[in-house]
Amino acid sequence: MTTYPLSEPATIHLVDASGDVTADVIGQGTLEDCVELVAGLSADRRKAITIRMNDLDLQFGPKDVGDLLNFLHDEGAGLSNNEIIEIKNNEP
């Protein structure tokens, strides 16, 4: 099962023609926010970005972002933090 840190802070950077990540930032938010922003970009523009996690040594290049978009489209939202707490509090 694939797990993504959707609620963790991330930053969208441009990638230059050689594939190197630039300092140019085009968006920030949680990973889920960033993926939603990228979903609104053209396919050509998506090929020129990467999403870097702010607090984790993890980044998602163009192919990875495509996989994330598919994952979020195919998977349900899952349980919210409040729903998890409610279940935990109701355990015997």
For residue 72, tell me if it sits in a domain.
yes
pLDDT in tens, 58-70: 999 888 888 888 8
For residue 2, tell me if it sits in a domain.
no
pLDDT (0 to 100) of residue 2: 57
pLDDT (0 to 100) of residue 24: 94
For residue 45, tell me if it sits in a domain.
yes
Could you list the residue range(s) of the whole structural domain that residue 21 is in? 9-89
For residue 53, tell me if it sits in a domain.
yes
Number of domains the chain contains = 1
The helix/strand/coil state of 3 is coil
**Whose CA is closest to 64, among 47, 45, 77, 42?**
47
pTM of this structure: 0.74
For residue 4, tell me if it sits in a domain.
no
Give the span between the Cα atoms of 4 and 31, in whole angstroms. Answer: 8
pLDDT in tens, 69-82: 887 777 655 656 66
